[in-house]
Amino acid sequence: MSEQKKKSGTPLLDELEKGPWPSFVADLKKLAEKKPAVGQLLEQMEQSYETRVNYWTGTVLNLDGYGGGVIARYSDLGKKLPEVAQFHTIRVIEPSGWMYSTAALRELCDISEKHSSGILQLHGMTGDILMLGSDNKTTFEAGEALMQKGWDIGGSGGALRTLACCVGPAYCEMSCFDTLEVTKRLTDHFISYLHRPELPYKFKFKLSGCPNDCANSIQRSDMPIIGTWMDDIRIDKDEVAKFVAEHGEEYVVENVITRCPTKCIHLRKKEIVIENADCVRCMHCINVMHKALAPGKKRGVTILLGGKRTLKIGDTMGSVMVPFMPLETEEDMERLFDLVGRIWEFWGENGMEHERVGEFIERVGLATFLEGVGLEPDPRMVRHPRTNPYIKFEEYTGPQIAGEPKVAPPVLDKENEPRESI
Partner 1 sequence: MAAIEQKKMAPRDQGAPNYKEYLHPLMVKNYGKWKYHEKVKPGVIKRVAEGGDVLWVVRAGSPRTLSVDKVRGICQIADKFCKGFLRFTSRANVEFFVDRLEDVEPLVREVRDKLGFPIGGTGNGVTNIVHTQGWMHCNLPGTDALGAVKALMDELYDEFTNERLPARVKISLSCCSINCGGQADIAVNLQHHHPPKINHNNMQICELPKVVAICPVAAIRPATVGSKNSLEVVEEKCMYCGACHGQCPSMEIRDPDTDTLSLWVGGKSANTRGGPSFMKLALWGLPNNPPRWPEVGAAVKTLLRAYKDSAKEYERMGEWIDRIGWKRFFDLTGFPFTKYHIDTYRFARTTFNTSTQVKP
Residues 101-120 touching partner 1, rule: CB under 8 A, are 101-106, 108-110, 112-113, 118-120
Residues 24-43 that bind partner 1 (CB under 8 A): 24-25, 27-28, 30-31, 38, 41
Q: Which is nearer to partner 1, 184 or 342 (CB)?
A: 184
The number of CA neighbours under 13 Å toward the Cβ of 104 is: 11
| Rounded Cα–Cα distance for residues 167 and 112 (Å) | 26
What is the contact mask toward partner 1 in residues 278 to 307, using x (rule: CB under 8 A)?
Answer: --xxxxx--xx-xx----------------
Q: Which residue type does 357 have? A: V
Q: For residue 238, state whether it binds partner 1 (rule: CB under 8 A).
A: no
Candidates 8, 78, 82, 123; binder of partner 1 (CB under 8 A) is 123
Candidates 2, 7, 150, 421; binder of partner 1 (CB under 8 A) is 150
Pick from 124, 322, 154: nearest CA to 225: 322
Q: For residue 384, state whether it binds partner 1 (rule: CB under 8 A).
A: no
Residues 59-98 that bind partner 1 (CB under 8 A): 63-66, 71, 73, 87, 89, 93-98
| Rounded Cα–Cα distance for residues 305 and 316 (Å) | 10
C-alpha to C-alpha distances, 325 to 22, 59, 292, 300, 321, nearest whole angstrom: 44, 41, 26, 5, 11
Which residues 6+ apart lie within 8 Å of 354 measured at CB?
A: 158, 200, 201
Q: Which is nearer to partner 1, 81 or 180 (CB)?
A: 180
Q: State the minimum distance, in angstroms, from the CB of residue 171 to partner 1.
A: 5
Contact 39, 31 (CB under 8 A): no
Q: Which range of residues in 251-259, 331-339, 396-404, 408-416 is near partner 1 by CB under 8 A?
A: 251-259
Q: Which is nearer to partner 1, 163 or 339 (CB)?
A: 163
Count of residues engaged in binding partner 1, rule: CB under 8 A: 130
Q: State the minimum distance, in angstroms, from the CB of residue 412 to partner 1.
A: 33
Q: Which is nearer to partner 1, 97 or 373 (CB)?
A: 97
Q: For residue 352, state whether it binds partner 1 (rule: CB under 8 A).
A: yes
Q: Which range of residues in 173-181, 264-272, 340-348, 394-402 is near partner 1 by CB under 8 A?
A: 173-181
| Rounded Cα–Cα distance for residues 19 and 309 (Å) | 32
Q: For residue 220, state whether it binds partner 1 (rule: CB under 8 A).
A: yes
Q: For residue 191, state whether it binds partner 1 (rule: CB under 8 A).
A: yes
103-110 long-range Cβ contacts below 8 angstroms, 24+ apart: 107/149, 107/151, 108/151
Contact 110, 80 (CB under 8 A): no
Residues listed for the chain:
422
Q: Which is nearer to partner 1, 261 or 405 (CB)?
A: 261
Dihedral sign for Cα atoms in the order 253, 290, 297, 331: positive
Burial 201-221 (b: 16+ CB within 10 A, else e): bbbbbbbbbbbbbbbebbebb
Q: Which is nearer to partner 1, 174 or 375 (CB)?
A: 174
Q: Which is nearer to partner 1, 12 or 273 (CB)?
A: 12
Q: For residue 184, state whether it binds partner 1 (rule: CB under 8 A).
A: yes
Pick from 164, 166, 159, 221: nearest CA to 191: 159
Candidates 188, 231, 338, 395; binder of partner 1 (CB under 8 A) is 188
Q: State the minimum distance, in angstroms, from the CB of residue 262 to partner 1.
A: 10
